[in-house]
Amino acid sequence: MTPHSLIILFLEFIGSFLLFFFFALLPIYFLFSATERKLVADLQARVGPHHGGAEGVLQGFYDFVKLITKRTPQRSTGGSASWIWSAISTALIFGFFAVLPMRMEQPYFQSDLSLFLPLIIFILASCAHVLFGQEFDDFSTVFGSHRRATTVLSLSAPILTSVLGLVIFTGETSLVRLGTMQGASPLSWNIFGSYGAIFQFGSLFWAGLILTFQPPFEEIGFDGVGRRGFELVRHDLTLFWARFSWAIYLTILYFGAGQPGEIFGTTGMGNFIWSAVIVIKALLLLLLGKLLGKALVQVRLEQVNHLIWKWLFPLGLVGLVLSVI
């Protein structure tokens, strides 16, 4: 590959990411957060946002505009390194699936290592925080950011063992091809896929659900100092994007994805419809998780860690051993 073509590829990546960010991610985020807030408000016997746009659809945008005039308080002990690393981890998380809708001929998760890629990105993002992120002296963050990042690292242990078991069992390392092997249509919610039943509800499934429903990395990427409007959107978007990414991962692997071109045709429009169906299913999964979360007491990191090391990790090991046998 010549340097010229590398530059073209890089620009194409940046361009597609920016297009995706402003014309797909932001509208989805605003619409989804409005829907989510309305549904939760209904569950909790209150009205919910209703001033920002029609029925509060633009409430997130209004919050952004309101808070753009305000600054986050400057923390006395916070140096520049703290927010640089959180920004890097945020960028890494955003890198996940970034080129999905724009380059359907080479989709991100059709690549040969796509089963591992999300995991690697999350491990990198957590490591950035654990190793380089700066803790602050006030009580709320002493046990905050690092603990959450460490929990994500813990979660990667059962996921890694489970994924390894899956790879050994099936000989496949592509996310979409594995999803296709389940034999379920993208228009169904076939969670009992025909292939690899032992992994259907293994540790990968449950750990993925934890990351989808209640990400322990909630505070990662919120150490920045600046305009509160930007910080709010950056934090919320990162959180949404992280949950959304795992929801897509789970949808393709467990909730019926089929493959691009199977039902909707192999044209560009067919690929687009296929992506839209996957996105809608992932969003529905997120909504379900949100409603479930609001009906329960908040889960603590200790409980998550207990679940990971006492149940999910042994389950992943059992899967790995069985697949080797």
Partner 1 sequence: MSRDTIPLQMGPIHSGLPGIMKLNLILQGDVILKTDLEFGYSHRKIERLLQDNDWLSSFIYVDRIDSEASFFYEWAYAQAVEELCNFQVPKRAQRIREIFADLAIISGHLLYLARMMRILRFETAYHYILREREVILDLFELLAGARSNMNYLRYGGVSQDISEGFLQRVFDLSTQFLLRTEEYRAVIFENASLRARLSGLAVLKPETIVAYDLDGPNVRAATPLESQLMIGSIGGDALSRVETRMRDVIARFTHLRQLVDQVPPGDFCLFEYDRDFSVPAGEVFQSVESYRGEISVHLISDGTEKPKRVAWRTPSQRIVQAIPSLLEGLPLHEASVVLWSLDLSVSEVDK
Size of the site for partner 1 (CB under 8 A): 16
CA neighbor of 117 nearest in space, from 312, 288, 249: 249
Q: Hey, CA dihedral for 143, 146, 147, 148, is it positive or negative?
A: positive
Question: Is there binding between residue 2 and partner 1 (CB under 8 A)?
Answer: no
CB of 71 to partner 1, least distance (A): 21
Q: Assign residue 171 a region (left: φ > 0; alpha: ψ between -120 and 50; beta: otherwise).
A: left
Task: Give me the least distance between CB of 304 and partner 1, in Å please.
Answer: 13
294 contacts partner 1 (rule: CB under 8 A)? yes
Nearest 5°: phi and psi at 71? Answer: -110, 150
- Binding to partner 1 by CB under 8 A, coded x per residue (else -) over 235-274, reads ----------------------------------------
- 310 near partner 1, judged by CB under 8 A: no
When asked if residue 299 is in the footprint of partner 1 (CB under 8 A), the reply is yes
Residue 12 touches partner 1, criterion: CB under 8 A: no
Q: How far is the CB of 291 from partner 1 (least distance, A)?
A: 9
Segment 80 to 139, residues that bind partner 1, using CB under 8 A:
139
Q: Does residue number 302 form part of the binding site for partner 1 (CB under 8 A)? A: yes
Instruction: Map the footprint of partner 1 across residues 138-157, applying CB under 8 A.
Output: 139, 142-143
By CB under 8 A, what part of segment 44-63 binds partner 1?
44-46
Q: 262 by DSSP, 3-state: which?
A: coil
DSSP code at position 74 = P
Mark the segment that binds partner 1 (CB under 8 A) among 66-74, 119-127, 200-208, 293-301: 293-301
- Closer residue to partner 1 in complex, CB, 45/325: 45
CB nearer to partner 1: pick between 110 and 305: 305
Measured CA to CA, the distance from residue 68 to residue 119 in angstroms comes to: 33
Considering only the stretches 36-44, 56-64, 72-80, 219-227, report the one whose residues sit in contact with partner 1 under the rule CB under 8 A.
36-44
Among 156, 144, 121, CA closest to 309: 156
Residues 6+ apart with CB under 8 A from 54: none
Compute the chain's Rg from CA coordinates. Answer: 20
With residue 324 as reference, give the H or E element that holds it. helix 313-324
CB of 213 to partner 1, least distance (A): 13
| Cα–Cα–Cα angle for 21, 25, 26, rounded to 5 degrees | 90
Whether the CB-CB separation of 110 and 176 falls below 8 Å is answered with yes
| Least CB distance to partner 1 at residue 286 (A) | 17
- How many helical (H) and strand (E) elements, i.e. helices and strands, does the chain have? 14, 0
- Of positions 300, 306, 321, 324, contacts partner 1 by CB under 8 A: 300
Binding site for partner 1 (CB under 8 A): 40, 43-46, 139, 142-143, 294-300, 302
